[in-house]
Amino acid sequence: MGGVDVRAALVSVVIPTYNRSQLLRRALEGVLSQSHSNWEAIVIDDGSTDDTGEMVASRFSGESRIRYFRQQNEGVSSARNRGLRLSRGEYIAFLDSDDFWAPWKLELQLSCFKADPEIGMVWTNMTAVNGNGRIVAERYLEVMYRSRRLFRDEELFDRTYALPKPSGFPGAAAPVLKTGVIWSQMVTGSLVHTSTVILCRDWAGKVGEFKAEYRPLGEDFDFHFRTTRLGRVGFVDIPSILYQVGMPDALTERANMATAAKNFLQVIEPVIENERPLIKLSDAAIDETLAYGYRWYGTELLLHGQREEARAVLARSLRRRWEMQAFLFYALAWLPVSWTAALRKLWRLVRPAARRQSGRHPSSIYFKTAD
């Protein structure tokens, strides 16, 4: 990592896409605007049926740095993995085709590797926008990811570096890089968002590919979980991307949430069972994390009418930690199927409050007491 001249480094930008022609155009224009110009954009068209191929050919035909490949529809993991195999850069960045980068993103993040040569991956915050381009949240990482609300920065990072301002950077103050080893904290859930990530090639090779068995949601968490296990990573708490929310084809739609919850548990349960001594979290934190995972999965099963399965999973949540929300949905799981519509309305009412409450546990419970 330390031997690469980051100012001249080639960055491979892996962009999976499916039926998002105009959003992809915007995403590519964001890459074209980068102040760090030594990049290649690898677009993997995952079997689009719209005019994606024609748009890329007509709009970007004169740009040799944009490489377009088409494949049969196999899912985002397959598309990202193909992009990884085709990449040639010293660094690899990920960009979903409905997101948009600030023009200084690559320059800023490459300077992080120079500031702390021990890090192998850097991510940033993000700003959420709706379909009309209106800002939903300036710093959306804390909203989207529960685990980001569980830990103070000093519980994640032990080094801080002032960074040079990249070209066109709008802030008055110099950006700050914070680095640390966060694998244990990642057991509680993801702290990292994919479209903000850049990692060095050496680490990408060690992490391996995205696991297709976690589609349509969960492969990102598993990939970043394995990444953070490799060692020190860096975070810049500045939004470097516009993250699109509320689109009709978004993977985070309600229908995919049960799969996301199941996949979360499939990632962390074997690690907790087989490698507990390596996880620098308290037993209370492990119980809270598993209770949360079972509650999440059980609630989604209930909302999808799978009542018997929901009862079993919610009971596991209550055995790990008693919580009113889990108990409420466990009790409701014994009611007739005809109550499902009412359950959905109830959940829409209580979910914002439950989401705000999540992450308010004292952070001191999350770390093992020194022997």
Domain boundary among 212, 244, 276: 244
The pLDDT assigned to 359 comes to 46
pTM assigned to the model: 0.89
User: Residues 107, 201: one domain?
Assistant: yes
Residues 309-329 as b/e (b if ≥16 CB within 10 A, e otherwise) read: bbbebbebbbebbebebbeeb
User: Residues 232, 264: one domain?
Assistant: no
Q: What is the residue range of 343's domain?
A: 254-366
The pLDDT assigned to 248 comes to 64
User: Residues 187, 313: one domain?
Assistant: no
Chain-centre distance for alpha carbon 105: 17
Report the number of distinct structural domains present in the chain. 2
The structure tokens 């979980």 sit at 225
User: Residues 207, 313: one domain?
Assistant: no
Residue 37 sits at the vertex; the CA angle it makes with 34 and 43, to the nearest 5 degrees, is: 75
Structural tokens at position 84: 């990884």
User: Residues 218, 268: one domain?
Assistant: no
User: Residues 129, 208: one domain?
Assistant: yes
The pLDDT assigned to 336 comes to 77
**Contact, 307 vs 340, CB < 8 A?**
no
The pLDDT assigned to 305 comes to 86
* Domain annotation covers residue 143: yes
CATH code where residue 60 lies: 3.90.550.10
Domain boundary among 226, 244, 262: 244
Domain boundary among 186, 219, 244: 244
pLDDT tens digits, residue range 291-317? 999 999 999 999 888 999 999 999 999
Kindly state the average pLDDT of the residues 141-146.
94
pLDDT at 2 over 60: no
* Domain annotation covers residue 159: yes
User: Residues 295, 222: one domain?
Assistant: no
What DSSP element (H or E) covers 162?
A: strand 159-162
HSE, CB side, 13 Å, CA atoms: give it for residue 285.
Answer: 25
Of 32-41, 247-256, 278-287, the range with the lowest mean pLDDT is 247-256
User: Residues 226, 267: one domain?
Assistant: no
User: Residues 199, 339: one domain?
Assistant: no
* Domain annotation covers residue 3: no
With cut-offs at 50, 70 and 90, classify the pLDDT of residue 355: low
User: Residues 88, 147: one domain?
Assistant: yes
User: Residues 218, 261: one domain?
Assistant: no
